[in-house]
């Protein structure tokens, strides 16, 4: 019974990665881009306040702040892929351990940089 469930997890994971995660990744990036356009084009806010707002935006979304200058804010965060977890479970749990090892030791974090 579990073998049948695991066989279905791999194609469901493929669908999740190629359809759902790709779409949500674009929407997620659009949120940051819109925020940068809105704050960057505002002439009522000083540069120091813009940097502070960018910093708050990154912290609210779970990013760790790597670098703050007078004109840039850089944050990074590792993103855990549910699709790869599902595909790993679909390959009889061995793939799950490989993905988790990759996530913790080799995956580079997603970086977001705001420049004023």
Q: What is the DSSP string of 34-98?
A: HHHHHHHT-SSS-HHHHHHHHHHHHHHTTPEEEEE-SSEEEEEE----HHHHHHHHHTTTHHHHH
**Whole-number average pLDDT of the chain:** 88
Q: Which residue has the higher pLDDT, 77 or 93?
A: 77
User: Is a pLDDT exceeding 90 seen at residue 105?
Assistant: yes
Average pLDDT over residues 93-97: 86
pLDDT given for residue 5 in this prediction: 76
**For the chain, what is the domain count?**
1
CA triple 19-95-3, angle to 5 deg: 90
**pLDDT at 116 > cutoff 90:** no
Q: What is the pLDDT of residue 1?
A: 54
What pLDDT sits at residue 44? 84
């Amino acid at each position: 019974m579990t073998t049948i469930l695991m066989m279905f997890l791999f194609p469901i994971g493929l669908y999740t990665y190629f359809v759902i995660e790709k779409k949500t990744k674009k929407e997620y990036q659009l949120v940051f881009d819109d925020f940068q356009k809105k704050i960057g084009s505002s002439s009522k806010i000083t540069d120091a306040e813009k940097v502070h707002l960018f910093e708050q935006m990154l912290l609210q979304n779970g990013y760790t702040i790597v670098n703050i200058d007078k004109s840039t804010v850089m944050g990074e965060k590792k993103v855990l892929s549910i699709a790869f977890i599902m595909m790993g479970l679909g390959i009889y749990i061995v793939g799950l351990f490989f993905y988790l090892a990759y996530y913790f030791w080799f995956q580079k974090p997603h970086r977001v940089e705001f420049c004023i």
